[in-house]
Amino acid sequence: MKVRVYVSLKNGVLDPQGRAIHHAIEGLGIHGVKDVRAGKMLELEVDDTVTDAALDEMAKKLLANMVIENYRIERIAA
């Protein structure tokens, strides 16, 4: 089974990368984008023994830094 873990910056945490990307989008001549926040998505291939609790634990302890980031876990049916 595939699991996707989305890691994003918490609200209120300054995102210099998102701001630079936003600036670059405007450089393309495309207007109307109000804000950009950069994050990351990790794709895991797991077997059925990997519980939601285990996914939560790995997200909290390693994949996301809970001081500045949030995460969301999505299981993708094969």
Give the C-alpha distances (Å, rounded to integers) separating 26 from 7, 20, 29, 52, 70. Answer: 25, 10, 5, 40, 27
* Binding test (CB under 8 A) with other proteins, winner from 28, 30, 67, 78: 67
Return d(Cα 76, Cα 45) in angstroms, integer: 10
In the complex with other proteins, the residue whose CB is nearer, 14 or 30, is 14
Is residue 76 close enough to count as binding other proteins by CB under 8 A? no
In the complex with other proteins, the residue whose CB is nearer, 12 or 32, is 12
* Binding test (CB under 8 A) with other proteins, winner from 65, 72, 74, 75: 65
Tokens found for residue 9:
């910056």
Is residue 16 close enough to count as binding other proteins by CB under 8 A? yes
Contact 55, 2 (CB under 8 A): no
Site residues for other proteins per CB under 8 A? 13-14, 16-17, 20, 61-63, 65, 67-68
